[in-house]
Structure 1
Amino acid sequence: MGVDPTGAKEFYTALLGWEFRPEGGRGYHLILLGGEIVGGLGPSPMGPRFGSSWNVYLAAKDLDAAGERAERHGARLLARGVPAGGDGRLSLAVDPQGAPFGLWQGMREEGVVLVDEPGALAGAVLHSPEPEDSAAFYGAVCGSDARIEKGSPARWMPLLGADAPDAFEERARAAGATVLAPGVLADPWGAVFGVADVTVPR
């Protein structure tokens, strides 16, 4: 999600070869790579004052129940049951350690289709000052284990697949990104993402 969708589309198209297809109005676009869905881009439901960031959405079979569980375990819900066209509904929350996250209930089986390929999502990492507490929270809310690393600020970071990550980081820097640490970058608007090596053996 970004405050400059046009600039973001140009940046990620040049860097990753993404294409964008309008979906459901309200400025939301599906992100495509080779014709397959790899994510979404659009304005924040909370407004531009929240700046630019990538959100990680966790699947929920029952969005309302998942939101209630999150609140019972200490999360703060910022947006509840927001319609996303014909694709589904979403809620936005902040976990007890301060990391924003989303919950997503899809209306169809198709979601992110292409993963673990160059230019596609290759996982996500939660940075938390209290990893054990965060693991207990997400286990209670979503019933699954999350990849958690000790760190601050608390945030979810999507990992984008890259063939030859070092060369990818150089291209990203040339396109206007900032390298925050090895394998961690911020786009020109401050949205942070990681890089995962998905080099195909030759």
Structure 2
Amino acid sequence: MPRRTGYAIGAPCWADCITPDLSGSREFYSALLGWEFVTESPDYQLAVLDGEVIGGFGAAPAGLPPLAAWNVYLATEDADHCCTRVGLLGGRVVMPPVPAGENGRLLLAVDPSGVTVGFWEGARAEGVVLADEPGAICGHELRVPSATRAEDFYGSLFGYRLGPEGEFTLDGVPHARVVESDQGRPCWLPHFGAADPAETVRQAVGLGARLVRPGREQPPVLRDPWGAEFGVVAAG
């Protein structure tokens, strides 16, 4: 069982789904990926697989459009410094650093490409604990109109470099795939593992999701019934 106990600064370390229908979203992902849920607060829960943490689920605040979204968080050792750097590099901070109980602090921003991205200063080294197996996060994708523009921002912020195959690397280690596309909104996407990705796609569609990228040259991408997008990749 692959467990992660620490993350490089700048690496994706957490993901959560903010949804207008917390109960419905839980039922969808539980049926599709086998997740269970542990309540952290009235409006936030942890997704768990085999007793290990996968990510989080939060209720969307009242007054927002009725759309769900997966948010990906990058590890930072200093949320305040990161917040300042984001602004200097052309990003826009939408929620300055706030405490997340005793677990750490987070901030949310929009990068120069229009991508919503979170940053997490953890009180402990671990974030997502279970990874790289069916039902768990098995990678990330950054979908943007310009890979070069994304490299300029994340490279200046954390040292990311764009590899020849479109991989986003830190110190030579791949952490995400960069996909240039003008289709759909720019975003960070978590990819979830499946023993049989085609069957998982069929199950997701049967549960009310929509296939938005068929996955011929790149992993398939689905949009859940509330609008949150995620990829599916082979694992196991």
TM-score bucket of the superposed structures, by smaller chain: over 0.9
CA contact (8 A) 1:53 1:191 kept: yes
CA drift of 1:46 comes to 8.9
Structure richer in strand, relative to its length? 2
Residue 148 of structure 1 is matched in structure 2 by 178
Query: Residues 28-78 of structure 1, C-alpha deviation per residue, up to 9 Å, x if partnerless?
Result: 111110000111111346963373100010011111111111111000000
Separation of aligned partners in 1, 2:90 and 2:59? 26
> Are the counterparts in 2 of residues 46 and 79 from structure 1 also a CA contact under 8 Å?
no
| Shift >6 Å, 4+ stretches | none
Normalized per residue, the structure richer in helix is 1
How far, CA to CA, are the matches of 1:180 and 1:159 in structure 2? 14
Q: Indicate the residue corresponding to 1:184 in structure 2.
A: 221
SS in 2 for 1:156: strand
How large is the RMSD of aligned CA atoms in angstroms? 1.5
Runs (5+) with no aligned partner, structure 2: 1-17, 162-167, 169-176, 215-219
Asked if residue 94 in structure 1 is aligned to residue 110 in structure 2, the reply is: yes
d(CA) in 2 for partners of 1:197, 1:181: 16
CA contact (8 A) 1:45 1:79 kept: no
Which amino acid in structure 2 is aligned with residue 6 of structure 1?
S
Relative distance call for 1:115 and 1:164 in structure 2 (3 A) is: same
Query: Normalising by the residue count of structure 2, what TM-score does the alignment of the two structures yield?
Result: 0.80
Post-superposition shift, 1:122? Answer: 0.8
Alpha-carbon deviation of 1:26?
4.6
SS at match of 1:49: coil
Candidates 29, 49, 63, aligned match of 2:79: 63
What count of residue pairs does the alignment treat as equivalent?
198
Cα distance in 2 for partners of 1:56, 1:45 equals: 18
The change in CA–CA distance for 1:171 and 1:29 in structure 2 (over 3 A counts) is same
Deviations 1:77-126 (A, max 9, x none): 00011221121111110000101110011111232111111110011111
